[in-house]
């Protein structure tokens, strides 16, 4: 009996000691866990607050960025319109109405206006769709910014046109900054002009976003940061701050934080853009402040929260400590009870162990049966646990996946197994795979994917179905079934490609037929339109085919050519049309067949400005100016020719009258000028014979100026007579030795220059030259003017250097070049210098009448040639002209027929 008691006492004593130790250990662990949890809670709340601040900052940045991008797009589209009108502006901003821009009052187009340009700018934009626009200055300064077009967004903003933006400094500064930087800018906060009439409780701070508008590329201006694109104005959007960002901020905070968005103005003060306050009335314990970039400015975002409202907040550590102490006491009691019931527990454990062994044996039998069934199916089966570790993978799955080892890390399944989307190139994200989705509790069926790895280098197509396995199934995880559909996918692809090819072929055929019908209709309409245009011209237009038969004549040509009544089916040859027109040269000589402009063009040559006389049926004469061009096909072969002509009878009559008048005036002025010059020289010599003295110094200067003026007038009269003679004098063309004429002109020019001892001796080189067919007097005048210009236009104190050369040009022509090393021809004056009375160096101190090169052009054209001016490589100018060779008889002296490629 006592032994039993002693044994019981020892068991009870040991159980008491063990229970005490368990209670002390539980208390220690509970207190330590409470401290650790408190620190973890503080870190979690800090991270939660940082995430909330980051989310609010992202919302503000994204929302403002959306507005900035939209305004930048509108500015670009407005700049593409040329010219911009009210209708185009409304069409450009129309897409913004459907984009849900909260707080936007209106979008406005504004332009800079100088103090003296208000009326002009107002009239311009009234013509472009703003008839009631009135620009009324309400600010000081020479330059202002006025709104031109305005589109309201809030349904209440009206009358936004004609506002002087400079009356409010904030938007004016923002627009100038936008023009300077060439990008969208945000203004300081201010009260919109249109909001100043609102009640006090409805007012809120606002701001504008402004973007510069640039037009199509043009001349570069220093004020335009966009380079060669001209600055047109600004497009700006007015925004009420609270409406603009308040709703978005409230959604992002879910009404759990106070948010204040402020912007620092130009004077350094912070203006509140928007403020949102949570419904909670508790004291805010934590605060965060971050900067958010809006356009070119930095706005400040302040977020205030109650720490207990953050995720992980609350009295959880203290509760955990209390619960741990209670649990420790309970464990001590249980330990005592368990220690005393050890014998009973041992018996129950032995019984339970026996039952577990029997259950395990049965489970093994079921598992072996299931494994045999799974291994026998042709579809792949894979099972993973909740940690994505593979528990089962039948042989079919290993073959289909093509990889022997199983990858335990689900994040690398795509790279490990080579899993792609059905296109075979886009990687299938591991997190979106069916097995990964099943682990997350989402089943999937028949998901197609491609496996391409070392085991399947060409790739196979699988469909995968996956289901989650819950704890009630024995162990949580997921199961997936793989089915090989490569052959079916290939067949479907071939069928789809065949169907696509058939549809494309049908579509191409229909499109080709539609294009042919459209082209036919367009060609018919274009042909009818072209005929109407040509018939509306007073210029005669004639076309012929390669055989020289007329194929089309416009109304003016049909009226001029007898017997031509229609455009089609007229078997009239070009030669016959020339006979009917009785076409003759200005001297009355009939045009030879080979000289008819259309036939010349059929030979591949170009006809420009050929003058002819047409004798009408009633005996009247008409002077016409004719042009012709060859028509070529895509291969360059001549397929026909086109000629145009217009009457210049009245022009020639006026020129004849003016020429006669100029000749009479010039002739009548010569005698008085000669007398004036002689008398002036006599008086000048008489004063000089009076001996040295200063009493006649001023008189001699006046007489010198009179003599110089008389000489200039005499040169002008000579040039006028030469200009008239170059056109109207009878042309006495003959074969001439071009070298002899050039040498004669050079000798006279050098002799005249030698009289002036202060002038450096000139260097003139004359090359070998052939004989030409030309009028001696006109040819001499031509060469004298060109060589004289080359000697004259030389920098002072520098010896003139002139090269005169001749080369064959086009078989029946010779090209003569007169090159110098003088001051050259100003840019853009190479064609204008042949205009009468035009002087390229009028302010450079060189004398002249401006008729010399005009006379040269008339002389060359009367010989059927062309003349051009170019820069001389190395400095100076090069004047080039063409003349017919001495053996050439096929070119009439009055024709101006040139090859397709002009020299130069």
DSSP 785-828: HHHHHHHHSS-TTS--EEEEEEEEETTTEEEEEEEE-SS---TT
Enumerate the CATH 3.30.450.20 domain ranges in the chain, comma separated: 537-643
> Residues, the chain, total?
904
Q: Does residue 605 sit in helix, strand or coil?
A: coil
| Tokens encoding 869 | 């001016």
CA distances from 442 to 21, 388, 448 (A): 48, 15, 16
Look at the block and give the residue holding tokens 């047109």: 232
Residue 890, pLDDT score: 46
> Spelled out in words, what is the top-level CATH class assigned to the domain 648-727?
mainly alpha
Helix (H), strand (E) at residue 258: strand 257-264
Element containing residue 275 per DSSP (H, E): strand 270-276
User: What interhelical angle do 738-754 and 776-792 show, nearest 10?
Assistant: 40
Q: Mutual orientation of helices 697-728 and 649-689 as an angle, nearest 10°?
A: 150
Contact of 616 with 622, CB cutoff 8 Å: yes
What architecture does CATH give domain 60-305? 2-Layer Sandwich (3.30)
d(CA 676, CA 672): 6
Q: Is the pTM of this model over 0.75?
A: no
Sign for the CA dihedral angle at 887, 888, 892, 898 comes to negative
847: closest CA among 711, 747, 725, 721? 711
Residue 641 pairs with which residues in a beta bridge?
A: 544, 630
CATH T-level topology, domain 537-643: Beta-Lactamase (3.30.450)
End-to-end CA distance of the chain, in Å? 142
> Cβ distance 779 to 741 under 8 Å?
yes
What count of other Cβ atoms lies within 10 Å of the Cβ of residue 773? 21
The pLDDT, as a whole number, for residue 447 is 92
As a whole number of angstroms, the distance between CA 610 and CA 902 comes to 17
Q: Which two tokens stand for residue 789?
A: 């210009």
Q: Where are the alpha helices (DSSP H) in 470-588?
A: 486-536, 555-560, 574-581
Query: Which DSSP string corresponds to 26-95?
Result: HHHHHHHHHHHHHHHHHHHHHHHHHHHHHHHHHHHHHHHHHHHHHHHHHHHHHHHSSS--HHHHHHHHGG
Pairwise CA distance, residues 628 & 45, whole Å: 91
Q: Where in the chain is the domain with CATH 1.10.287?
A: 648-727
CB 547 within 8 A of CB 599: no
Alpha-helical segments (H) within 382-461: 395-401, 413-417, 434-439
CA 667 to chain centroid, in Å, comes to 64
Query: Are residues 83 and 230 in contact, defined by beta-carbon separation less than 8 angstroms?
Result: no
CB 397 within 8 Å of CB 380: yes
Q: Out of 3.30.499, 3.30.1690, 3.40.50, 3.30.450, which CATH number does the structure's domain 381-484 have?
A: 3.30.450
Cα–Cα distance between 702 and 712 in angstroms, integer?
15
Radius of gyration of the chain (CA): 51
Distance CA 593, CA 578 (A): 8
729-898 architecture in CATH? 2-Layer Sandwich (3.30)
Q: Where are the alpha helices (DSSP H) in 595-648?
A: 597-602
Give, for 774, the enclosing helix (H) or strand (E).
strand 771-774
Segment-wise mean pLDDT, segments of 10 residues, the chain, 904 residues:
60 70 76 72 74 82 87 88 88 84 88 90 91 87 88 71 88 91 90 74 84 78 58 91 77 77 80 80 78 87 74 60 72 67 53 72 67 73 84 82 75 86 90 88 91 88 89 75 86 81 83 85 83 82 88 83 58 75 81 85 86 80 90 91 89 72 67 72 70 62 72 66 63 88 90 79 90 90 89 84 91 91 85 73 60 85 89 89 78 44 41
Angle, alpha carbons 360-365-369 (nearest 5°): 145
Rounded to an integer, what distance in angstroms lies between the CA atom of residue 774 and that of residue 782?
A: 11
| DSSP class per residue in 653-705 | HHHHHHHHHHHHHHHHHHHHHHHHHHHHHHHHHHHHHT-S-STTHHHHHHHHH
Residues 6+ apart with CB under 8 A from 901: none
pLDDT at 738: 92
Nearest CA to 17 out of 326, 332, 324 is that of 332
Q: At what angle do helices 241-253 and 2-80 cross, to 10 degrees?
A: 150
Nearest to 485 by CA among 374, 379, 377, 373: 379
Rounded to an integer, what distance in angstroms lies between the CA atom of residue 452 and that of residue 648?
A: 84
440 neighbors 477 (Cβ within 8 angstroms)? no
List where CATH 3.30.565.10 sits in the chain: 729-898
- Residue 746 contacts residue 766 (beta carbons within 8 Å): yes
pLDDT of residue 146: 92
Give whole-number Cα distances, 445 to 395, 411, 800, in Å.
22, 21, 96
Cβ–Cβ under 8 Å, residues 861 and 893: no
Comma-separated ranges of CATH 3.30.450.350 domains in the chain = 60-305
CA 895/CA 741 separation, integer angstroms? 24
């Amino acid at each position: 009996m006592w032994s039993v008691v002693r044994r019981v006492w020892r068991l009870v004593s040991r159980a008491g000691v063990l229970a005490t130790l368990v209670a002390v250990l539980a208390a220690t662990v509970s207190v330590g866990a409470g401290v650790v949890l408190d620190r973890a809670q503080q870190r979690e709340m800090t991270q939660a607050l940082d995430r909330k601040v980051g989310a609010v900052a992202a919302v503000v940045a994204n929302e403002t960025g959306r507005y900035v991008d939209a305004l930048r797009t509108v500015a670009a589209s407005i700049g593409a319109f040329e010219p911009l009108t009210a209708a185009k502006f409304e069409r450009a901003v129309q897409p913004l109405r459907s984009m849900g821009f909260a707080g936007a009052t209106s979008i406005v187009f504004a332009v800079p206006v100088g103090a003296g340009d208000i009326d002009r700018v107002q009239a311009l934009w009234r013509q472009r769709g703003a008839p009631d626009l009135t620009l009324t200055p309400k600010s000081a300064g020479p330059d202002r910014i006025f709104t031109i077009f305005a589109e309201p967004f809030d349904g209440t903003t009206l009358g936004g046109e004609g506002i002087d933006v400079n009356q409010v400094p904030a938007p004016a500064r923002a627009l100038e900054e936008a023009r300077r930087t060439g990008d969208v800018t945000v203004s300081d906060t201010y009260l919109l002009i249109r909001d100043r009439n609102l009640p006090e409780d409805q007012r809120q701070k606002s701001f504008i976003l402004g973007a510069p508008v640039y037009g199509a590329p043009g001349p570069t201006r220093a004020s335009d940061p966009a380079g060669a694109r001209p600055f047109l104005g600004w497009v700006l959007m007015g925004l009420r701050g609270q409406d603009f960002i308040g709703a978005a901020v409230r959604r992002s905070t879910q009404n759990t934080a106070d948010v204040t968005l402020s912007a620092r103005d130009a004077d350094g003060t912070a203006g509140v853009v928007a403020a949102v306050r949570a419904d909670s009335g508790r004291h805010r314990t934590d605060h965060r402040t971050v900067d958010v970039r809006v356009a070119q400015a930095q706005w400040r975002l302040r977020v205030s929260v109650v720490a207990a409202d953050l995720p992980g907040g609350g009295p959880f550590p203290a509760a955990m400590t209390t619960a741990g102490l209670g649990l420790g006491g309970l464990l001590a009691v249980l330990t005592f009870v368990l220690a005393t019931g050890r014998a009973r527990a041992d018996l129950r454990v032995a019984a339970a162990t026996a039952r577990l062994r029997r259950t395990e044996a049965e489970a093994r039998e079921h598992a072996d049966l299931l494994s045999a069934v799974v291994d026998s199916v042709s579809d792949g089966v894979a099972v993973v646990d909740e940690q994505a570790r593979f528990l089962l993978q039948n042989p079919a799955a290993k073959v289909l996946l093509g990889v022997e080892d199983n990858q335990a890390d689900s994040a690398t399944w795509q790279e490990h197994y080579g899993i792609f989307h059905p296109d075979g190139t886009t990687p299938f994200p591991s997190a979106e795979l069916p097995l990964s989705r099943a682990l997350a509790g989402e089943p999937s069926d028949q998901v197609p994917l491609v496996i391409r790895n070392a085991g399947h280098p060409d790739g196979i197509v699988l469909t995968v179905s996956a289901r989650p396995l819950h704890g009630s199934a024995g162990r949580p995880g997921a199961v997936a079934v793989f089915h090989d559909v490569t052959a079916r996918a290939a067949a479907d692809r071939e069928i789809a490609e065949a169907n696509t090819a058939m549809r494309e072929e049908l579509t191409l055929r229909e499109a080709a037929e539609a294009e042919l019908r459209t082209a036919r209709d367009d060609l018919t309409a274009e042909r009818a339109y072209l005929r109407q245009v040509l018939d509306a011209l007073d210029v005669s237009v004639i076309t012929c085919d390669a055989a020289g038969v007329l194929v089309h004549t416009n109304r003016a040509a049909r009226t001029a050519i007898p017997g031509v009544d229609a455009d089609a089916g007229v078997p009239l040859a070009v030669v016959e049309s020339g006979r009917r027109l009785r076409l003759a040269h200005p001297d009355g000589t009939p045009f030879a067949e080979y000289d008819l402009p259309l036939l010349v063009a059929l030979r591949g040559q170009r006809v420009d400005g050929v003058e002819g006389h047409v004798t009408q049926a009633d005996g009247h004469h008409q002077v016409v100016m004719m042009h012709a061009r060859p028509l070529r096909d895509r291969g360059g072969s001549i397929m026909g020719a086109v000629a145009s002509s217009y009457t210049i009878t009245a022009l020639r009559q006026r020129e004849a009258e003016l020429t006669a008048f100029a000749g009479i005036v010039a002739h009548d002025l010569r005698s008085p000028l000669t007398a004036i010059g002689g008398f002036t020289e006599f008086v000048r010599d008489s004063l000089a014979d009076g001996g040295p003295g200063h009493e006649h110094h001023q008189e001699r200067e006046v007489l010198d100026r009179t003599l110089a003026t008389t000489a200039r007038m005499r040169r002008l009269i000579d040039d006028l007579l030469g200009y008239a003679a170059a056109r109207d004098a009878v042309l006495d063309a003959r074969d001439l030795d071009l070298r002899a004429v050039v040498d004669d002109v050079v000798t006279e020019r050098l002799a005249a220059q030698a009289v002036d001892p202060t002038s450096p001796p000139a260097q003139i080189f004359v090359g070998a030259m052939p004989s030409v067919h030309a009028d001696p007097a006109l040819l001499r005048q031509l060469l004298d003017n060109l060589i004289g210009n080359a000697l004259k236009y030389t920098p002072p104190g520098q010896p003139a250097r002139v090269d005169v050369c001749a080369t064959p040009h086009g078989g029946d022509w010779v090209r003569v070049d007169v090159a110098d090393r003088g001051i050259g021809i100003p840019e853009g004056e190479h064609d204008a210098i042949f205009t009468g009375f035009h002087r390229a160096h009028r302010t450079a101190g060189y004398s002249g009448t401006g008729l010399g090169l005009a006379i040269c052009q008339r002389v060359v054209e009367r010989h059927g040639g062309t003349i051009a001016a170019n820069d001389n490589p190395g400095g100076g100018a090069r004047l080039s002209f063409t003349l017919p060779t001495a053996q050439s008889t096929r070119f009439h002296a009055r024709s101006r027929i040139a090859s397709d490629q002009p020299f130069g």
